[in-house]
Structure 1
Amino acid sequence: MRKPRTAFAFTVLFFVLLYLPVAVVVLFSFNSQKSLTVYEGFSLRWYEAFFADEALIESLGMSLRVSLVAMVGSLVLGVALALGLVRARGKLGLYAGFIMLVPLITPEIVTGVASLLLFKGLGIPLSTMTVMIAEITFSISYVTVILRSRVAALNREVEEAAIDLGATRWQALLLVTLPALLPSILASGVLIFALVFDDFVLAFFTTGVTPQPLSVRIYSAIRFGIQPTINAVGTLMLLGSIALIGLALLIPRFFGRRGGLSILSGE
């Protein structure tokens, strides 16, 4: 069956428009000259300039810390919320599930402004801590959505059998339920790390003067003109995000090959 040529042409055009600007950024990050319009030759000078810039390295460190804390915090709260929503009885779980989805459909700029007003209203100065709190709050819904279907698919009889054999409910949760959720938890964690690391809007509204997340630092720098160093930073962030998302996709497949029993037995 022949594929429609028009549909194929539009598909190619879509991917060209989507990835051509990214390809240009990557290409000019290896430019030997400072020009952003003429490619003179291959060079790593802008990557060397990035690693020699203390301000950018400081921002990179902050972004990594914020992403790590947001990942851990959102996983702890998201797992608990997913378990509660699936196992809640009556209309409480339905209403709570609806409220949980609201952050996903709310424009991020609205969330950013609301977070800023909240911190200002409570008299909390903007700092690394406020960025972490805002990112954790925003990321919980993503973790919950990913884990909720997995929790619903679990066989409660296995957990009940562990309780019948003498385990407490906490022991059954730690030794049976959480190991079964481990692939989804790890995949969610990697995805949240990538999302928070690349986030700009929420970080922009909740960060202090210094240090600033890497995305905010880049925005501040390009307001005074685009420097080739920014191309190098963007390329590194792109590669890191691709690697993390790829890892998030591979983790469930890796555990799927090993099988659920091997996870529980530790083999």
Structure 2
Amino acid sequence: MAIALTAVFFFLLYLPIAMVALFSFDSQKSLTVFKGFSLRWYRAFFSDHVLIGSLGMSLKVSLVATVGSVALGAALAMGLVRARGRLGSYAGLIMLVPLITPEIVTGVASLLLFKGLGITLSTGTVMVSEVTFSISYVTVILRSRVAALNPEVEEAAMDLGATRWQSLRLVTFPALLPAILASAVLVFALVFDDFVLAYFTTGVDPQPLAVRIYSAIRFGVQPTINAVGTLMLAGSIGLIALALAIPRLFGRGGGLDVLSGE
């Protein structure tokens, strides 16, 4: 009985996704009857300059958000682990708040903040919002890895003549590299697919790809959207798989054990 219920659950969960992928290869402009395989809608997507521009913006925002959140999240993780007293515990709890806050609340709050400061919504506002939102994910992943490091190794490096910066660069950073790469790939995938925060903080044009798709389907679902959705799904699955594989390539303790349950 449990197996049957599980099978029904996954069938209902993935059936709409499978239908989107299937009709992205339909040779005709139909969303109900599949009439044959074709790459027509993929060619239409790559020849659509508006959608390609939105894709370029999404990639740009994802890259900036990844670099910014990883840099700030790594520093925050180091500070939370190495902080003494209750400050580190309290800061750690505050850092978890963005993870449990509904994203629509964060989006509305970001919109009100930018409007209150008189900042025009643009690509820059999307980048700032995504960096701020992603820091917590990076911190959660890296914090467990930083806590597992032995501070005596850094102290030994400094006893041998290394400066504090050299010990971080030559000892700590290589140990954190698997977790850093894994968190970077994960954040890139999350930001690229993000809709809610991007919707509230983006300008008129160009818009992130997720927002552009939403704007397009309000006037009717086109088969090109199925092709775009399938490409985004394939890219996201690949990035998530890479994020989970990186720690294993470097050995256990890469940092995503927190997410994978290991």
Please give the range of the TM-score, normalised by the shorter of the 2 chains: over 0.9
| Number of the residue aligned with 1:16 | 11
Alignment of 1:104-183 (within 5 A): 104-183=99-178
Q: Which amino acid aligns with 1:116?
A: L
| Number of the residue aligned with 2:259 | none
Secondary structure of residue in 1 paired with 2:35: coil
Query: Over aligned residue pairs, what C-alpha RMSD do you find?
Result: 0.9
The superposition leaves residues 147-181 of structure 1 with CA deviations (integer Å, 9 ceiling, x where unpaired) of 10100000111110000011111111111101100
Q: Which amino acid aligns with 2:14?
A: Y
Q: Which of 210, 219, 222 is the equivalent residue of 1:215?
A: 210
Runs of 4+ in structure 1 deviating by more than 3 angstroms, as ranges, are none
Tell me, yes or no, if structure 1 residue 204 matches structure 2 residue 203: no
| Number of the residue aligned with 2:233 | 238
Gaps of 5+ in 2: 255-262
Query: Offset of 1:13 from its aligned partner?
Result: 0.5
Tell me, yes or no, if structure 1 residue 66 matches structure 2 residue 58: no
Query: Offset of 1:95 from its aligned partner?
Result: 0.9
How many Å separate the matches in 1 of 2:250 and 2:223?
Answer: 41
Secondary structure of residue in 1 paired with 2:29: coil
How many Å separate the matches in 1 of 2:149 and 2:38?
Answer: 53
Secondary structure of residue in 2 paired with 1:225: coil
Query: Offset of 1:87 from its aligned partner?
Result: 0.5
Secondary structure of residue in 2 paired with 1:73: helix
Q: Which amino acid aligns with 2:211?
A: V
How many Å separate the matches in 1 of 2:96 and 2:219?
Answer: 38
The superposition leaves residues 58-98 of structure 1 with CA deviations (integer Å, 9 ceiling, x where unpaired) of 00000000000000000000000000000000111011001
| Number of the residue aligned with 2:87 | 92
Secondary structure of residue in 1 paired with 2:10: helix
Number of corresponding residues: 253
Q: Which amino acid aligns with 2:216?
A: A
Q: Which amino acid aligns with 1:43?
A: S
TM-score (norm 1): 0.94
| Number of the residue aligned with 1:262 | none
TM-score (norm 2): 0.96
Gaps of 5+ in 1: 1-5, 260-267
